[in-house]
């Protein structure tokens, strides 16, 4: 189990999205040819809808319960104590940031906090200049994201505009 947790944690920290992690796990199960089901033990993996759902459910449970809860809480406590002891607001090797957001790049983290998925936040950071503006310490999203050529970015930006309209409500002088 620890080896499996390590693989998932590594993929998560490298910034792989759920789709990528799920695809890799399903390919692995297919290659291995077996699947463990509680109460039944190890059975032959047949890539049926039911078997794929079991694999996906296991991964989501591990990501939520082990990686995003247990490990994240551990590293959050460590991070907070380290910052307090050393009198810093940030430090380079902050594992909490890696686990929670898959990066320590502040723009990517900000985009995820505003509602973008990890994949979209990474795409925006690497492909869209001036995607986020700061005004008096408050972040605002550039409306160009609403018309992005990336379908997922465009969809998520419009969902954010619908749910958090103030994220796009920049003062007029900023345009």
Q: How confident is the model at residue 175 (pLDDT cuts 50, 70, 90)?
A: very low
Per-residue confidence band for 172, with pLDDT thresholds at 50, 70 and 90: low
Overall average pLDDT of the 19-45 stretch = 89
Among 150, 127, 124, CA closest to 139: 124
Q: What is the mean pLDDT of residues 107-121?
A: 89
* Spatial separation of the C-alpha atoms in residues 174 and 15, rounded to whole Å: 31
Across residues 96-123, what is the average pLDDT? 84
Instruction: Say what the pTM is.
Output: 0.57
Which residues 6+ apart lie within 8 Å of 29 measured at CB? Answer: 35, 45, 47, 51, 55
Q: Sorting pLDDT into bands at 50, 70 and 90, what band is 173?
A: very low
Measuring CA to CA, which residue among 146, 159, 147 is closest to residue 115? 159
> Band of the pLDDT at 131, cuts 50, 70, 90?
very high
With bands split at pLDDT 50, 70 and 90, how would you rate the model's confidence at 12?
Answer: confident
């Amino acid at each position: 189990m620890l080896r499996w947790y390590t693989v998932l944690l590594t993929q998560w920290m490298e910034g792989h999205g759920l789709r990528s992690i799920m695809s890799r796990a399903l390919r692995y199960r297919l290659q291995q040819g077996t699947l463990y089901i509680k109460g039944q033990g190890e059975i032959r993996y047949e890539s049926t809808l039911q078997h794929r759902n079991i694999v996906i459910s296991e991964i989501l449970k591990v990501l939520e319960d082990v990686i995003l809860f247990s490990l994240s809480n551990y590293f959050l406590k460590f991070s907070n104590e380290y910052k307090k002891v050393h009198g810093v607001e940030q430090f380079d090797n902050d594992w909490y940031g890696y686990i929670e957001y898959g990066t320590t790049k502040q723009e990517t983290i900000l985009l995820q906090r505003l509602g973008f998925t990890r994949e979209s936040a990474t795409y925006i950071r690497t492909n869209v200049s001036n995607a986020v503006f700061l005004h008096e310490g408050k972040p605002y999203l550039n409306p160009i994201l609403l018309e992005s050529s990336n379908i997922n970015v465009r969809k998520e930006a419009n969902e954010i505009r619908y749910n958090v309209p103030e994220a796009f409500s920049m003062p007029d002088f900023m345009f």
